[in-house]
Amino acid sequence: MPPLKRRTSLGAPRRDVKPARAAVGRRPAPPADPLPPEAPPAPAPPSALLRAAGAALLAALIPGLYLGWRLFWFQTDDAHIAFHYVENSLLGHGYVWNPPPFRPVEGYTSFLFVAALDLVWRLTGVAPPRSSNTILLLCGYATLGVALWCALRMRLAPRLEPLRVPLAALALLAVVANRTFLAWTSSGLETAMFNLLCMLWVASCVRFPQASPRWLLATSASATLVCLTRPDGLLLVAATLAAAAVAFALDRRVTPRQLACLSPLAGVAVHLLWRRSVYGLWLPNTYYAKVSGAWPEAGVRYLLSFAVEYSLWTWALLAAAVAWRHRAWLARGRNLAWLLRPAPQGAGALGPVVATATVLAHVAYYTLRVGGDHFEYRVFSYLLPPLFLSVMWLLGRLDLRPSRALAASLAVVLLSLPIPWTHWHATRDLTTRAETHILMARVAPRFPAPLRPYVEVFDDLQSWLIPRHICNRHQEHKVFYQFLQRTIPDRRDERPPRDSFPVVVTGSPGVVSWRMPRYNVIDIGGLNDRVIAHMPVRQVLFHKMAHDRAPPPGYVACFRPTAMHMFESISFRTRERPLTAADVVDCESGTWPPAPDQVYSLEPVPTPEEAASQGWVAVQGDVFGNPSRDGLTRALRIIAWDSPEVARVILHDSRVNVLLQRGTLVRPLERAWLSGQVRVQPRDGSQPLWTFSEALP
C-alpha cells in the first residue's frame, strides 16, 4: 500500500520530509548571495533586432568618441606647464621649472604623464602640444574598453541576462555623450590618463577573485600608476594595502607569492623618496600653492552642481530603491559582516566595498577640504564610467522586467543630457576674452517654464562658483589659451635675451614658458615657485580657488626682471646691473616677510575728494541696480575680474556708502544686488568700462 500524502491548506499534495538535524555547535551558513532574491526563470531571448541595435550602438561609440573629441578639442594654459618641464628634461636639466642656479620645484603634479610626453618626444620628435591630446584620446578609448569588459562580466539577474548588450551599450552611450568626459579627452592635462587608471583599479577590485594573485597584482599595479599620475593616488595605495591586510586576516595565511604580487607598490616609495631628494618636499609644490584650508562651502556647491547638471539624482533614486527593497537583509548585522567573508571560489565582496569606500573618501576630500576644483568637474570626471555602469547592477538588484529595466536605463541617459548640451550650445560661439572671462551663461530661460526652477538651481550654483574661479567652463579655458597664443610672440620669433639669467614675470605661466623658452619664468601665482607657494594666505574679501598666494614685497624685484607679461602685451627692458647665479640663490633662499595684509577695510569711507584722488569712480547714489539674476551675474563678472581696475559699490543702507576695491566681493553685495540696493561701476582709465544704470520698475 503506497504511503499516505498530506495536503496543504491549498489542497496541494506533498510528501512527508524528515527535517535534517542541525550540526551541533554550528550556525546556519549565510546564503551564498542574498542579492538579489531568487528570480523567476529568464524570459525568451530578445529579438534579433534588439540584439543588433545594441551591437550597432556599441560600434557607433568608436566614431562617436572621436567626433566628441574633435568637437571639444582644446588645450589649457596649465597644460603648457608640464610641456615646459618636458622641454627642460630634453635640454638635460631634468624635470625643473627653471634650470640651475634656480632651485628645482615640482609644479606639474603628473609625473607619469610628463614622462610619457617626454618619451614620445624623444622617440618620435613630436612635441607635447601635438602629442598630448592624441595620448588622451587613446586613454579615453581604453577607458571605454575597460568599462565594456566590466559590463560584459557583470553578474545580472537571470531575466536581464538577455539584455546585457543593450544595457551595456546604453551605459557606455551615457559616458560618450557626457560633456565632461568628452572635454577631458583633450585639454593637454593628464585627466584622461588618471581616469583610465582609476577605472582599471576599480575594475581590478571588483572583477578579480578576492585575495588571489591576480587581484593583488592588478590592484597594486593600477594603484601605483594612479599615484604616479596624480598625488590623489596615495589614497588608492592606502586602500589597496588595507584591502590586502583584511584579505590576509580573513584567510589567516599569507604566501610569498601573494606578497610578491604587492611589489609594484614599492614604486610609490621610490617616487616619494626621489621627490624628497630632488625637490625637498613630500608633496608637489602645487599642493601648497592651491590648498589653503577647508572650504566645504565651495565644495558642496561644486558637487551639487555636478549632480544637478547631469541629473545624478536618477542614480540616487535607483540606489535608494535597491536599499529599500533589501532593507530587511541590510538591517541584519551579521549579513553586513558577510560582505567581508573569505571568498576562495568567487570574486568576493571585499573589493567592491573597498572601491566604494575609497571613491566616497576621495569625493569627500575634494568636497569638504579642497572646495572642488578650478576646472569643470575635472576631479569628479573619473566617476562617470563607474556611475553609469553601476546602473546595470542596480537594475539587476531591483529585478525589474526587461522592458522596465531598458526604459529606466534609457531615462538615466536622456536626463543627463539637456543641461550640459544646452550650456554648450549657448556658449560655443563666444570666442573673445571679454565674452568668456568669468563665463556664466544662464541656461534656465532656454527651458520650458515648468523646468526652469530646477535649471535655475544649476544657474545659481554656477554663478556662485565661477567668480571664485571654481568649475570654470571648457569654453573659457579654450578661448583663454587662444588669447595667449595671439598675444605672446611665437617661440620661433622670440627676441634673444641680452642679459644673463633673463627673467619674465607672469601670472599665466604655461603658454609664456613654452613660447619664451630662453627665459626663466617667475610664476606670481606660486604654482612653480616654492617661496610664493609657502607664503601666508592673503586675507582678501573675495576668496578665489588657487589664487590665495602672492609674492612677498620685494621678491619679484629681487630678480630684476627683463620682461613682464601683463594682460595683452609683453614689455622688455635691459638690466642696469647683471643678475648673477649668487643673486638667484640669495633671492630664493632669503628670509622673506609674510605676504602683506590685503584685507580691504570698509571703514572709514573716504570723502568724495579723497576717493577721486585715489582713482575711485563717482557714482550717483540715487540710482538702483537691476535686482535680477542676470544683473547679479553681470555684477559678479565685473567684480571677479583680475585687474588693477577698481569698482565702487554703494550699499543703500540708510545713509552708508561703501567703497570696495576691484577684485573683492562679500555676501552682502549679493543680497543687496538681488534686493535692488547696489550699483556697480568699474573704472577703466578716465571713463567707466560698464555702467549699470537700470532703475527699479
Q: Do 268 and 152 sit in the same domain of this protein?
A: yes
Domain containing 639 equals 608-688
585 and 620 co-located in one domain: no
DSSP string, 578-604: ---HHHHHHHHHS-PPPPPP------S
Residue 128 domain-assigned (yes or no): yes
Last residue of a domain, one of 393, 416, 439: 416
Residue 165 lies in a domain: yes
User: In angstroms, what CA-CA distances link 101 with 199, 410, 457, 574?
Assistant: 41, 59, 52, 20
In what helix (H) or strand (E) does residue 523 lie, and over which residues does it extend?
strand 520-523
Determine contact, residues 592/531, Cβ cutoff 8 Å: yes
CA–CA distance, 455 with 553 (Å, rounded to integer): 45
Whether 641 and 524 share a structural domain: no
pLDDT tens per residue across span 561-576: 888 887 567 778 888 8
**Whole-number Cα distances in Å, 242 to 245, 246, 353, 526:** 5, 6, 12, 35
Strands (E) located in 422-513: 503-506
How many whole angstroms separate alpha carbon 99 and alpha carbon 97? 7
Could you tell me if residue 455 is inside a domain?
A: no
In a shared domain, residues 123 and 259: yes
Instruction: Examine residue 697 and state whether it is found in any structural domain, yes or no.
Output: no
* pLDDT score of 613 more than 70: no
Name the pLDDT band for 540 (thresholds 50, 70, 90). Answer: low
Residue 491: is its pLDDT beyond 80? no
Asked if residue 18 has pLDDT above 60, the reply is no
Whether residues 614 and 547 fall in one domain:
no
Both 561 and 682 in one domain: the answer is: no
What separation in angstroms does the CA of 478 have from each of 84, 134, 378, 641, 690? Answer: 19, 17, 15, 18, 25
- Any domain includes 101: no
pLDDT digits (tens, 9 = 90+) for 66-108: 999 999 999 999 999 999 999 999 999 999 999 999 999 999 9
Which amino acid is residue 108, in one-letter code?
Answer: Y
Q: Which tens digits make up the pLDDT trace of 119-178?
A: 999 999 999 999 999 999 999 999 999 999 999 888 888 888 888 888 999 999 999 999
Asked, for residue 528, whether it belongs to a domain, the answer is: yes
β pairing state of 563-566 and 569-572: antiparallel
The residue out of 416, 441, 476 marking a domain boundary is 416
* HSE-up of residue 39 (Cα within 13 Å, Cβ side): 21
Q: Are 568 and 641 members of one domain? A: no
Which residue in 189, 283, 289 sits closest to 547, CA to CA? 289
Per-residue model confidence as pLDDT tens digits over 568-610: 677 788 888 888 999 999 888 877 764 444 333 333 334 444 4
Assigned domain for 495 exists: yes
Burial annotation 492-519 (CB, 10 A radius, 16+ → b, else e): eeeeebebebbbbbbebbbbbbbbbeeb
Tell me the pLDDT tens digit for each residue of 306-348: 999 999 999 999 999 998 888 877 776 555 555 555 555 445 6
Q: Are 504 and 399 contained in the same domain?
A: no
Q: Of 369, 399, 416, which residue constitutes the final position of a domain?
A: 416
Question: Apex CA 691: angle with CA 690 and CA 694, to 5°?
Answer: 140
Question: What is the pLDDT, as a whole number, of residue 442?
Answer: 87
Which residues, in sequence order, are CB contacts of 213 under 8 Å at separation 6+? Answer: 257, 258, 261
The helix or strand, by DSSP H or E, that contains position 191, with its residue range, turns out to be helix 191-207
- Predicted pLDDT at 44: 47
What's the chain's average pLDDT?
A: 78
SS3 content of the chain, % helix, strand, coil (to 5): 55, 5, 40
Same domain, 129 and 224: yes
- Dump pLDDT digits (tens) for 27-50: 444 444 444 444 444 444 555 676
Q: What's the pLDDT tens digit per position in 659-697?
A: 333 333 334 444 444 444 444 444 333 333 333 333 222
- Give residue 414's identity as a one-letter amino acid code: L
Please give the C-alpha separations between residue 212 and each of 56, 369, 557, 563, in angstroms, as whole numbers.
36, 35, 60, 59
Contact between 307 and 379 under an 8 Å Cβ cutoff? The reply is: no
- Torsion-angle region of 590 (φ positive above 0: left; ψ -120 to 50: alpha; else: beta): beta
Peptide bond into 385 cis (omega under 30): no
Regarding beta strands 647-651 and 569-572, do their DSSP bridges make them parallel or antiparallel, or are they unpaired? unpaired
- When pLDDT is averaged across residues 247-273 and rounded to a whole number, the result is 90
Tell me how crowded residue 21 is: count the other CB atoms within 10 A of its CB. Answer: 6
Same domain, residue pair 638 and 515: no
> Does residue 319 sit in the same domain as residue 402?
yes
Q: Which helix (H) or strand (E) holds 687?
A: strand 687-688
Tell whether 84 is covered by a domain.
no
Three cell numbers at 415?
536626463
Q: Count how many domains the chain has.
A: 3
* H helices present in 232-383, as ranges: 233-251, 256-261, 266-279, 285-290, 296-309, 313-325, 327-330, 333-338, 350-364
Quick one: 298 and 231 in the same domain?
A: yes
- Whole-angstrom CA distances from 648 to 7, 616, 622, 664 are 91, 7, 14, 11
